[in-house]
Each structure stands twice: as C-alpha cells, then as structure tokens.
Amino acid sequence: NAGVTQTPKFQVLKTGQSMTLQCAQDMNHNSMYWYRQDPGMGLRLIYYSASEGTTDKGEVPNGYNVSRLNKREFSLRLESAAPSQTSVYFCASSLDGGNPYGYTFGSGTRLTVV
Amino acid sequence: AQSVTQLGSHVSVSEGALVLLRCNYSSSVPPYLFWYVQYPNQGLQLLLKYTSAATLVKGINGFEAEFKKSETSFHLTKPSAHMSDAAEYFCAVSDSNDYKLSFGAGTTVTVRA
C-alpha cells in the first residue's frame, strides 16, 4: 500500500545509546518531516526537508540529526539518547511545502529511553 | 508564524449527541486549516481541510468544520456521535509561505453508551 513507512515500531534504549529511525515514502512527495508527540503537547516539529538535498531545524531539534538520503527516505538519528527523548515519533510527507493537501503520516515509532 | 489553540483537552459525549471540538488559530496570511484524527496506537489520519474554497468543509465519517475568518476559528462538529468516534483530534494550520504544519495540543473524545 502506498504511504509512509516507519521502522522500527517500538524501541527501548539505554541512556547514552544511539539509534536511527527510518522513514520512507512511495508517493513521490518532495517534502518530509519528523515530529515528536508527547501527552498534552500535540505534535512538535523536530526537523524537516523541503526537498531532496535540504534539511532545516524545526521547533525542537536539540539532540537530533537528520539525513535526507534520497527523495524517498528521511532518517532521524539520536546520537546519545536521553530520558527526555522518550516519545512517539512520527514521520510525515507532503507533495510540497506550503501546500493545501496536508501531510501523510506514518504509524509512528514508540521510543523509550531508560 | 502560525499557532493553534484547541479549547478543552478532553470532551465526553453520549452516543448520538453532538460532537463539538473547538479550534482557534493565528496566522499572518490566509491559512490552510486541517483536522486530523488519531486512533489509539495509530498515526494521524486527515479528517478534512480548508483551503480557501467553501467555508463549510465536509470530511470523512460525518464530520464537518466551518471556517470563520472574523473569529479566527475552525471548529469541528458531528451531529451524532458514534462509539467509533472515540479518538484524539488535532487541529493544524499552515500557510502558503511555509512548509510546516503547526498542531494544537489535541482533544481526546470519549463516547458514552
């Protein structure tokens, strides 16, 4: 099925460990996004990629890095995980930025840092 | 820059009753407005969107929302709640100058039998 695929779905890390969350879309979208969701705070933008080859910081970028590997894939890396990064992470894509179509979301990665 | 305020973090309704979820936004340019629904342990699904056409927008599952520029509001309604409407609902705003969607904090809807 067409859409946004995130891996893994669940992950437990120890403080200080690193990991990469993977995201791929097959809708030929130009723009991709990483959000984190925390109770009572909605979704907050971590990083986004307006087009292949570009990335920009969002609202909460500290502690994260991203790579737009190609048009389809956009990964999120935690270099040294902290308990404050326990969250649900969503990847999303859109045809273009500033567009009226909204985003298509993946099903999320539930990350726990102990 | 845009921002979204959703009034009420939790709403409880009886099955068959009206569902009303409130959303107010701020935007310096004409906005695009969206409502998303999130069922437990799932991603976000688009319910409906306003893109400067008709001010009354109809979406999936019997939901609709009305854009009121004078009130900077985009409230979501459904005339008759069903048990399957139990979920979290997010209002979001963007504009033609920006790539990013800004989300409200969300409203959790519970439906009583």
Residues 6+ apart with CB under 8 A from A62: none
Residue B74: its pLDDT value, please?
95
Taking alpha carbons only, the member of B86, B16, B15, B90 closest to residue B48 is: B90
In one-letter notation, the amino acid at residue A95 is L
- Report the percent of chain B where pLDDT is more than 90: 72
Query: Looking at B1-113, which runs of residues are DSSP E strands?
Result: 3-7, 10-14, 19-26, 31-38, 44-50, 56-58, 64-68, 73-78, 87-95, 102-103, 107-112
**Per-residue confidence at B95, pLDDT binned at 50, 70, 90?**
confident
| Rounded Cα–Cα distance for residues A51 and A31 (Å) | 5
Tens place of pLDDT per residue across chain A (114 aa): 679 999 999 999 999 999 999 999 999 999 999 999 998 888 999 999 989 999 999 999 999 999 999 999 999 999 999 999 999 999 999 987 656 778 899 999 999 999
Taking alpha carbons only, the member of B111, B110, B105, B113 closest to residue B8 is: B105
Q: Length of chain A in residues, anyone?
A: 114
Residue A1: its pLDDT value, please?
62
Q: Do residues B2 and B95 lie in contact, with contact meaning Cβ atoms separated by under 8 Å?
A: yes
Between residues A111 and B52, which one has the greater pLDDT? A111
Task: Evaluate if residue B44 carries a pLDDT over 70.
Answer: yes
Q: Do residues B92 and B25 lie in contact, with contact meaning Cβ atoms separated by under 8 Å?
A: no
Q: Do residues B99 and B110 lie in contact, with contact meaning Cβ atoms separated by under 8 Å?
A: no
The mean pLDDT of chain B is: 91
Residues in chain A with CB shorter than 8 Å from the CB of B101 are: 33, 45, 102-103
Distances (CA, A) of B27 to A43, A57, B21: 18, 20, 20
Interface test with B, best of A103, A104, A109 (most B CBs within 10 A): A103
| Rounded Cα–Cα distance for residues A29 and B66 (Å) | 29
Mean pLDDT of all residues in B56-84: 94
Residues 6+ apart with CB under 8 A from B27: B2, B72, B93, B95
Mean pLDDT of all residues in B81-93: 95
Task: Evaluate if residue B30 carries a pLDDT over 80.
Answer: no
Residue B1: its pLDDT value, please?
67
Distances (CA, A) of A78 to A15, A31, A72, B51: 11, 21, 20, 36
Pick the residue from chain B with its C-alpha nearest to A57: B100
| Rounded Cα–Cα distance for residues A55 and A49 (Å) | 4
Beta bridge partners of A112: A12
Residue B106: its pLDDT value, please?
94
Q: Who among A41, A58, A106 is closest to B100 (CB)?
A: A58
A and B: number of Cβ contacts within 8 A = 66
**Per-residue confidence at B100, pLDDT binned at 50, 70, 90?**
confident
Task: Evaluate if residue B105 carries a pLDDT over 90.
Answer: yes
| Rounded Cα–Cα distance for residues B5 and A62 (Å) | 25
In one-letter notation, the amino acid at residue B75 is H
Residues in chain B with CB shorter than 8 Å from the CB of A31 are: 99
Residues in chain B with CB shorter than 8 Å from the CB of A105 are: 36, 43-45
Residue A102: its pLDDT value, please?
81
